Amino acid sequence: MDIRIGFADTARELVIRSEGTQEELSQQINGALADNSVLELADDKGRKYIIRTDRVVYAEIGVTKPTTVGFAGA
């Protein structure tokens, strides 16, 4: 599952590829944003991200789709 998090006053996004369902991640992110607490996420390689939620502008949770090359996707 791909998670894109946008922050105030910057054009860059934080992109994390994480394990878990869209519903589980949505509940975790919504809970941290509602409490204005620290959001802690882990990616699929075992790295941990600790995010202060007071500067988060948006979070996009999407499904990872494999990319196709050439005529395989036609």
Task: Answer yes or no: is pLDDT of 74 > 70.
Answer: no
DSSP result, 13-73: EEEEE--S-HHHHHHHHHHHHHHT-EEEEE-TTS-EEEEEGGGEEEEEEE-------GGGG
Task: Encode pLDDT of 39-66 as tens digits.
Answer: 999 999 999 999 999 999 999 998 766 6
Q: Domains in the chain, start-ordered, CATH in brackets? A: 2-66 (2.30.30)
| Mean pLDDT of the residues in the chain | 89
| Residues above pLDDT 90, as percent of the chain | 77
Q: What is the reported pLDDT for 71?
A: 72
Token pair belonging to 64: 């990872």
What's the one-letter identity of residue 70? G
pLDDT the model gives residue 65: 67
Is the CB of residue 2 less than 8 Å from the CB of residue 59? no
CA angle 55, 45, 29 (to 5 degrees): 30
